Amino acid sequence: MPDDARDELLLPPAPAPAPAPTPPWQDGPAVKAAQGRVLRVLLVAQVVGSFGTGSTIAVGSLLTTSIIDGAGFAGVSPTCMTLGAALFGVPMGVLAARSGRRRALGLGWLTASAGSLLVVGAAVTESPLLLVAGLLMVGSGTATTLQSRFAGTDLSAPGRRGSTLSLMVWSGTLGAVLGPNLGAPGELIESALDLPVYSGSFIISLTMFAAAGVIVLLCLRPDPLEVTRTHSGMPVRVAGAPRVGGGVGAALRTIWTTPHARFALLAVIASHVSMVSLMTMTPVHMLHRGETVSLIGLTISMHVLGMFALSPLVGMATDRFGPVRVIVVSQLLFLTTTAVVHLGGHGSVSMVLALFLLGLAWSCGTVPGAILLSDSVPATTRSTAQGVLDTSMNAIAAVAALSAGPIYSAIGFGGLSLLVIVIAIPLATMLPRDRTAA
């Protein structure tokens, strides 16, 4: 036998080729087509609904002070709407788990529309109780906006969820920026319908919320959560069948016992509290320093742009580098915001820059945080866990907004800005040790 042939017999057998990785079910052509339709419907509804939310922000406080005499009650409007978003977050997630995204989101928009109608009724009757009830229901619009971003990711492949969720966030930019400027059309509506002052904007929000609800209820087919159930091995929902996946308690236990999910929840809450605390007092601080209303408006506009306009880049970074790394960047941006406030001497340029960085830091915290939580919990409890995230974020933000005023009065805007350090440093100690999935 030739030497080379004998050598070949002595060599170990060549390893079998590794099997080709199975592509995720989201890459199937039918699912891709369904995802395209779902995203188009959700984006249209999101844009329309964002105008409804935006139109209430500018005049909500003014209407409140006209019904409840006194400037000290101006904070009732944003507080009620934030609390409303918190109240509706978990029920909307539970409803999605039981009945699908279409019904949950559609009813969420219609609830906000009904709330706007109650606010108009409060203006006509000058009823504070009706006003509070209506504003709480209007908060359902914010809760629906937040849940819509999750609905957009139901059919996204794992490596594209950040980009998809950030696209849903970005779609609200137009309404967030232009919505507060709908006061003039609102005045025309008031004149035509002989309504009290400031109530016309809520007629606009009523119409926009209702339109968004109808769009979702009629057009969100197939239901993305039902498609997910079919492909992920979850039992398909059947009318009258027992509920799958447990309720709010099960979702809370899952989040708290899963390190990545727990960190995501805390990161989103921390980012939202830091943003709300500073943003709430910025107009007051600038007004006390003698700044013009135009400059205050520009500062808030730059803040909104920081929150929403760059969100697609934040989503791409989340997909490319992982959500935990982007969350770390968010906390560094919060710390940079504090540095700009102090080093800039509270000047006009430094305030504009600080508020832009504050919005960008919020985006870098909440977008990857939402993705990390969704990816860290089982599909059976995912929609309920998402509702828990939104409710926790808004409930604690409402407390932060109410606390910002007394803190500002006690230690000033510079002292208030140090709050982000108090939040960021403990959060850094909670980074998950195992970051392979992050």
Q: What is the pLDDT of residues 260-303, one digit of tens each?
A: 999 999 999 999 999 988 888 888 788 788 888 678 778 877 88
47 and 178 belong to one structural domain? yes
pLDDT greater at residue 185 or residue 390: 390
Q: Is pLDDT above 50 for 363? A: yes
Please give the Cα distance from 287 to 307 (Å, whole number).
23
Q: How many CB atoms within 10 Å of residue 190?
A: 18
Task: Please indicate, yes or no, if residue 261 is contained in any of the structural domains.
Answer: yes
> 435: pLDDT confidence band, cut at 50, 70 and 90?
low
223 and 291 belong to one structural domain? no
295 and 359 belong to one structural domain? yes
List C-alpha distances in Å: 240 to 98, 99, 213, 244, 245. Answer: 10, 11, 25, 12, 15
Full domain range(s) for residue 155: 28-230
Of all residues in the chain, what percent carry a pLDDT higher than 70?
88
Of the residues 230, 263, 298, which one is the last residue of a structural domain? Answer: 230
Dihedral over Cα of 150, 274, 70, 298: its sign: negative
pLDDT greater at residue 364 or residue 243: 364
pLDDT value for 343: 87
251 and 218 belong to one structural domain? no
- The number of CA neighbours under 13 Å toward the Cβ of 167 is 17
Give the DSSP letter of residue 175: H
Query: Mind listing the pLDDT tens digit for each residue in 308-346?
Result: 889 999 999 999 999 999 999 999 999 999 999 988 776
Task: Please indicate, yes or no, if residue 1 is contained in any of the structural domains.
Answer: no
Task: Please indicate, yes or no, if residue 237 is contained in any of the structural domains.
Answer: no
Q: Is pLDDT above 70 for 434? A: no
CA-CA-CA-CA dihedral for 343, 325, 322, 436, to nearest 10: 180
Mean pLDDT of 133-151: 94
Burial 265-287 (b: 16+ CB within 10 A, else e): bbbbbbbbbbbbbbbbbbeebbe
74 and 112 belong to one structural domain? yes
Q: 41-55, 162-176, 217-231, 244-258: lowest mean pLDDT where?
A: 244-258
Q: DSSP labels for 41-53? A: HHHHHHHHHHHHH
Mean pLDDT of 114-121: 96
286 and 139 belong to one structural domain? no
Q: How far is CA 437 from the centre of its chain?
A: 22
162 and 284 belong to one structural domain? no
pLDDT greater at residue 112 or residue 403: 112
Of all residues in the chain, what percent carry a pLDDT higher than 90?
51
Most confident segment among 15-19, 90-94, 174-178: 90-94
As a residue count, the chain comes to 438
pLDDT value for 402: 79
> 233: pLDDT confidence band, cut at 50, 70 and 90?
low
Q: Is pLDDT above 70 for 138? A: yes
pLDDT value for 184: 78
Task: Please indicate, yes or no, if residue 239 is contained in any of the structural domains.
Answer: no
Please give the Cα distance from 380 to 389 (Å, whole number).
16
pLDDT greater at residue 302 or residue 219: 219
36 and 144 belong to one structural domain? yes
> 215: pLDDT confidence band, cut at 50, 70 and 90?
very high
pLDDT value for 407: 87
Most confident segment among 107-116, 277-286, 349-358: 107-116
Q: 118-122, 219-223, 413-417: lowest mean pLDDT where?
A: 413-417
152 and 270 belong to one structural domain? no
224 and 279 belong to one structural domain? no
Number of domains making up the chain: 2
Of the residues 195, 230, 265, which one is the last residue of a structural domain? Answer: 230
Task: Please indicate, yes or no, if residue 22 is contained in any of the structural domains.
Answer: no
Of the residues 171, 199, 230, which one is the last residue of a structural domain? Answer: 230
Q: Is residue 74 helix, strand or coil?
A: coil
Q: Is pLDDT above 50 for 133? A: yes
Task: Please indicate, yes or no, if residue 3 is contained in any of the structural domains.
Answer: no
Task: Please indicate, yes or no, if residue 302 is contained in any of the structural domains.
Answer: yes
Give phi and psi for 23, each to the nearest 5.
-65, 150
Task: Please indicate, yes or no, if residue 321 is contained in any of the structural domains.
Answer: yes
- The CATH code of the domain that includes 143 is 1.20.1250.20
> 58: pLDDT confidence band, cut at 50, 70 and 90?
low
pLDDT value for 178: 74
124 and 210 belong to one structural domain? yes
Burial 28-65 (b: 16+ CB within 10 A, else e): eeebeebbeebbebbbbbbbbbbbbbbbbbbbbbebbb
Q: Is residue 393 helix, strand or coil?
A: helix
267 and 381 belong to one structural domain? yes
Give the global pTM. 0.84
Please give the Cα distance from 433 to 427 (Å, whole number).
13
pLDDT greater at residue 436 or residue 295: 295
Q: Average pLDDT over the chain, rounded to whole?
A: 86
